[in-house]
């Protein structure tokens, strides 16, 4: 049997769970999206109950995004 295909949302969550997080450029490259699509996906995660933290380095550079919490699944 073939393995089930991972959804784009699940792939995005995996990127955001990494210890260093992900910046918009990394998300765009990994997912094959444009920047506005990556930002819209981050907004959709927030609307669905996830907590996504944006960290801006003091020395400048790209902001990184981290998935802090996900909504609890009700049985």
For residue 61, what is the domain's CATH number?
1.10.10.10
- Contact between residue 23 and residue 55 where contact means Cβ atoms under 8 Å apart: no
In a domain, 74, yes or no: no
The domain tally of the chain equals 1
Does residue 75 register a pLDDT over 70? no
For the purposes of burial, counting CB atoms within 10 Å of the CB of 37, is it exposed (0-12), middle (13-18) or buried (19 or more)?
A: middle
The residue segments making up the domain with residue 47 are: 8-69
State the Cα angle at 30 between 65 and 17, rounded to 5°. Answer: 35
In a domain, 36, yes or no: yes
The pLDDT tens digits for 10-56 are 999 999 999 989 999 999 999 999 999 999 999 999 999 999 999 99
Mean pLDDT of 52-73: 89
In a domain, 75, yes or no: no
In a domain, 37, yes or no: yes
In a domain, 1, yes or no: no
In a domain, 3, yes or no: no
pLDDT of 42: 96
């Amino acid at each position: 049997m073939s393995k089930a295909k991972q959804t784009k949302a699940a792939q995005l969550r995996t990127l955001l769970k990494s210890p260093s997080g992900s910046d918009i450029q990394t998300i765009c490259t990994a997912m094959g999206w444009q920047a506005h699509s990556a930002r819209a996906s981050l907004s959709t995660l927030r609307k669905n109950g996830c907590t996504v933290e944006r960290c801006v380095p003091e020395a400048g550079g790209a902001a990184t995004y981290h998935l802090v919490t996900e909504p609890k699944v009700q049985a």
